[in-house]
Amino acid sequence: MSIAMRLSALTLVSAVIGCGVPADDQRVLVPEINGEWWQVAGNPDLGEYNSDDQEPTAFGMWQAADGTWQLWGCIRKTSVGGNTRLFHRWEGASITDTDWRPMGVSMIADPQYGETPGGLQSPHATRVADEYLLVYGDWESICLARGADGKTFERQLGSDGNAGMFNEGLGNSTRDPFITHFDGTYYVYYTANPDDLGVIYARTSTDLRSWSDSKIVSSGGSAGSAWDDAEVPVVLYLENERAFYLFRTHSEGDSDRYMTSVYRSTDPLDFGVGHDRYLVTTLPTEASWIVREGDDYFIAATLPDHQGYGVARLAWVRR
């Protein structure tokens, strides 16, 4: 079955999955997958790091300074050693192009900077003013790198010489960071698993050096509380709604499938803990990534068979 057939079949599910509404029962904008999917990347050739079992998993997508589209994917189960993960980069001239050009391995964990061998996870970059900020996990901590072109980045090291900025305690799998900038403040959202629970946290900073204490912004509710029930957070601000939207990946009950629940809140540090008050819809996608080009929105996701990445248009409808 083609990617369009597989993901279009899943798309139909989003029309019938339960959709929570705000307590005041007002109609709000809700994201909805709009049309066919197209595949932008497959399982890459990693050269010396190739493995028969390798799988593309959580990723980031953004537009570089030259207008090209960049996709950095975390490839797991490779032969790089350690925890088997590394980053690979693809480039597309247009987000609507298929089969973006593979650009090779873009980053490997470096133990001299305190990173866990083979432990790189979930790269994400965003442009703020004249620079790009790349956040990623190193298996234990959230790290930051900076660059000018949106393609190459330099690790930002702390006073201890390590790349890790903060974590939720060793062994709690602090990972899946997403960085954004709003009203003069940087926000980093991320996942961790204290007591094997799935939790999404946030920290804030005004200088990218000193970070606030962590705050739980989403956990529990109908999405669940298992370790994989609060992953890959993506947060958007819709100015015309004056509201923030959190996209949260979680497991689908007892199956091996994943979905993305979407929460709407006017507070960027509260999307609901232990309740569904802010839940507005659920999308049948895994590791969902939302990007904007002009007035157009797109959703990207891992393919159902974990052999690449696909993109579809995203519409916003009143419900």
pLDDT at 255: 67
pLDDT at 287: 87
Say whether pLDDT at 21 is over 60.
Answer: no
Maximal CA-CA distance, the chain: 57
Say whether pLDDT at 10 is over 50.
Answer: no
Write out pLDDT tens, residues 239-255.
Answer: 999 999 999 999 987 66
- Mean of the pLDDT values across residues 300-318? 95
Placement of tokens 């157009």 in the chain: 296
Residue pair 89/101 in contact by the 8 Å Cβ criterion: no
Q: Binning pLDDT at 50, 70 and 90, where does residue 25 land?
A: low
Say whether pLDDT at 212 is over 70.
Answer: yes
pLDDT at 72: 98
Say whether pLDDT at 132 is over 50.
Answer: yes
Convert 118-169 into a string of H (helix), E (strand) and C (coil).
CECEEEEEEEECCEEEEEEECCCCEEEEEECCCCCCEECCCCCCCCEEECCC
- Mean of the pLDDT values across residues 134-142? 98
CA distances from 125 to 8, 188, 279 (A): 28, 11, 26
Q: Does domain 3-318 have CATH number 2.115.10.20?
A: yes
8-state DSSP, 284: S
Q: How far apart are CA 44 and CA 233, in angstroms?
A: 25
pLDDT at 256: 76
Within 10 Å of residue 218's Cβ, how many Cβ atoms? 28
Q: How far apart are CA 248 and CA 106, in angstroms?
A: 26
Whole-prediction pTM value? 0.92
Residue pair 257/282 in contact by the 8 Å Cβ criterion: no
Full strand arrangement of the beta sheet holding 308-318? 29-42, 308-318, 296-302, 289-293
- Mean of the pLDDT values across residues 65-94? 98
